[in-house]
Chains A and B, each alone.
Chain A
Amino acid sequence: MAGSEAITMEGVGKRYGEKHALDGLDLSVRRGTVHGVLGPNGAGKTTAVRIMATLLRQDSGTARVAGYDVRTQAGEVRRRIGLLGQHAALDEELSGRQNLEMFGRLYHLGARRAGARADELLDRFGLAGTGGKAVKRYSGGMRRRLDLAASLITEPEVLFLDEPTTGLDPRGRTEVWNAVRSLVGGGTTVLLTTQYLEEADQLADRVSVVARGRVIADGTVDELKGRLGGDRIDVVVRDAGRLAEAAALLPAGAAVDPDRRLVSAPVADRMAALTRAVRELAAAGVEAEDIAVRRPTLDEVFLHLTDELRLTETPAAARTEVPA
């Protein structure tokens, strides 16, 4: 099997009636890397993952996973992937251990190894104490960890994680992040979808931004920083009368929200911008209630990208016409 790509999608389209869930999606993921697919609700992330995991057939275009065509070589693909879907893919009536053991048997590990692997994974994901409980009595975080454990039974070549932390509390989120990090380096290629730039930044080597079934930007998070609108500094000013003054002291392009007494400005260098803002505001005697540097939200990223697209309409449209 040749090629350094673990996943390639070329011009993949999927329609539901009149609705284009995917509209010529292109994606390329190198072996052993973590790739983030970032997009808002309805962008087509789940549809793309389900096609790559052989659960759904595309209408057009080609998709290859671990070197095999998902449509014509689904069996080969299935031997090499793990899937953590957006919704738990577990048998709710059975216990956590019964679930893992069953999946192990379906990978033909044999009864004894399936059982041993189940115990090993329960232990690794902190579920050893609750392995005998029916999954329907699990909390959201426990369920997600069990689901992740189930997708790792055979140490897959390619692992798909569809919004692995959506709906989890911060502790659950950290647990899943740590689990994903521990996989990297083992040679597994991970494709993860998310609505949070922060999550992509934390976990992914490269990111594709998806909107309305197409990739509208891709690259490393650092490469994209500028295009995604970069980091921002938020300052909440105590005296609403001094908002304009604060905005003038912050980097260019500051936006003012009088209701929240908030000034928000894009920054190039997080730490330098923070220390400079603190110093200058203090020197001018503008009292700040709160100062924080943060990643842009997905809304801001999209605002920025669509502005960019509007300015460069023709080339942006042309980039989806990838030669075969």
Chain B
Amino acid sequence: MSALGSAVTWAAADSWTMTRRELAHWARQPAQVVVGLVFPVMLLLMFGYLIGGGRGVDGAYVDYLVPGMLALTMAFGLESTMLSVTRDLDKGVIDRFRAMPMADGAVLVGRSAADMLQSAVGLAVMLAVGYAVGWRPGGGAGALAATAGLLLLLRFAMLWVGIHLAMVAGRPELVQAVQILIWPVGFLSTAFAAPASMPDWLAAAVEWNPVSATATAVRDLVGAPGAAAAAGGSWAAEHAALLAVAWPLLLVAVFLPLAVGRFRRLGG
């Protein structure tokens, strides 16, 4: 086997070991996993029933809301990733990992794989709850698969942003600041409300938000009635599918190398 080949095999094995570690954590703390799944469901129900009819949306609000909530849930995954990473780096076990002949970044890849798995389960739950509240996505299995793909791609991007921010922030107190900041960023999107209902300057900013891009792209995919009209006619809204792929890829390209580099340099 070539040197590169064996390095890749070694890294894959280490990453798998780290993923198993996260899975073992879940097995020992099932309650935390359940809470993580219930929270977005609560948000969805709250917006669907309490706050009711979306602003500036034609057609059934649920068709508009569910794709938005799905995108928002993926974006908010950043919080849980940050929290896990800061907790992890605080632990002595990281010292042992770093003093072992372990592949660079395997700890982070393990984190990433476990978070993606949790998000995939979370997504399935959200889709089921969406269906239960009357959401009927169109476009068949292909559209649904593409929907899941776009959403998980956004989650993957947020994951690496989260890992990097957690390592920059370092301390749990700073993580809280980021947690508070992510709310306005998440809400300044087309997740709940159509840009048509917003002042022009805000609408323009909101449409460029990666969360909006994914939400709009998903609405287009599953053919939400009224979605196209509500989305407005800006370049960003017209090319939502392109942005829904380009944004996450750009974020990953920037933050993944930064995060791995930072982990490698932990020892100063």
Among residues of B, the one whose C-beta sits closest to the C-beta of A89 is: B96
Of B42-50, B65-73, B98-106, B160-168, the one contacting chain A is B98-106
A93–B28 touching, CB < 8 Å: yes
Q: Which residues of B contact A91 (CB under 8 A)?
A: 21, 91, 93
In residues 117-144 of chain B, which contact A (Cβ within 8 Å)? none
B28–A90 touching, CB < 8 Å: no
How many pairs of A and B residues are in contact by the CB < 8 Å rule?
Answer: 72
Q: Which residues of A contact B25 (CB under 8 A)?
A: 93-94
A87–B267 touching, CB < 8 Å: no
**For the complex, is A81 an interface residue (Cβ under 8 Å from B)?**
yes
Q: Which residues of A contact B100 (CB under 8 A)?
A: 78, 103, 106-107
Bound form: Cα–Cα A79–B100 in Å: 7
B92–A55 touching, CB < 8 Å: no
Q: Per a CB cutoff under 8 Å, which of A54, A89, A94 touches B21? A: A94
A83–B99 touching, CB < 8 Å: yes
Among residues of B, the one whose C-beta sits closest to the C-beta of A90 is: B93
A108–B10 touching, CB < 8 Å: yes
In residues 60-83 of chain A, which contact B (Cβ within 8 Å)? 75, 78-79, 81, 83
Bound form: Cα–Cα A258–B49 in Å: 83
Q: A54-B267, A56-B268, A91-B21 are in contact. Are A134 and B96 (CB under 8 A)?
A: no
**For the complex, is A53 an interface residue (Cβ under 8 Å from B)?**
yes
Number of interface residues of A (CB under 8 A): 30
Interface string of B84-96 (1 = CB under 8 A from A): 0000000111111
- Chain B interface mostly helix, strand, loop or mixed? helix
Bound form: Cα–Cα A81–B99 in Å: 8
Q: Which residues of A contact B98 (CB under 8 A)?
A: 54-55
Bound form: Cα–Cα A93–B97 in Å: 16
- Chain A interface mostly helix, strand, loop or mixed? loop
Interface string of A83-119 (1 = CB under 8 A from B): 1010111111110001000110111100000000000
Q: Which residues of A contact B93 (CB under 8 A)?
A: 89-92
Q: Per a CB cutoff under 8 Å, which of B20, B91, B102 touches A92? A: B91
Bound form: Cα–Cα A106–B96 in Å: 11
Bound form: Cα–Cα A53–B100 in Å: 9
Q: Which residues of B contact A83 (CB under 8 A)?
A: 95-96, 99
**For the complex, is B115 an interface residue (Cβ under 8 Å from A)?**
no
Q: Per a CB cutoff under 8 Å, which of B13, B24, B99 touches A55? A: B99
**For the complex, is A173 an interface residue (Cβ under 8 Å from B)?**
no
B91–A106 touching, CB < 8 Å: no
Q: Considering residues B21, B91, B101, B267, which has the most beta carbons from chain A within 10 angstroms of its beta carbon?
A: B101
**For the complex, is A236 an interface residue (Cβ under 8 Å from B)?**
no
A78–B101 touching, CB < 8 Å: yes
Known: A93-B29, A108-B13. 7 other contacts (CB 8 A): A55-B98, A55-B99, A83-B96, A83-B99, A89-B95, A91-B91, A103-B100
A-B contact pairs, 25 of them (CB 8 A): A53-B99, A78-B100, A79-B101, A85-B96, A89-B95, A89-B96, A89-B99, A90-B93, A90-B96, A91-B21, A92-B93, A93-B28, A98-B24, A103-B96, A105-B17, A106-B14, A106-B17, A106-B100, A106-B101, A106-B102, A107-B100, A108-B13, A134-B28, A150-B96, A151-B96
Chain B contacts to A: CB under 8 angstroms: 10, 13-14, 17, 20-21, 24-25, 28-29, 91-102, 267-268
9 cross-chain pairs, A with B, having the tightest CB-CB distances, nearest first = A89-B96, A89-B92, A78-B101, A105-B17, A79-B101, A89-B95, A91-B93, A56-B267, A83-B99
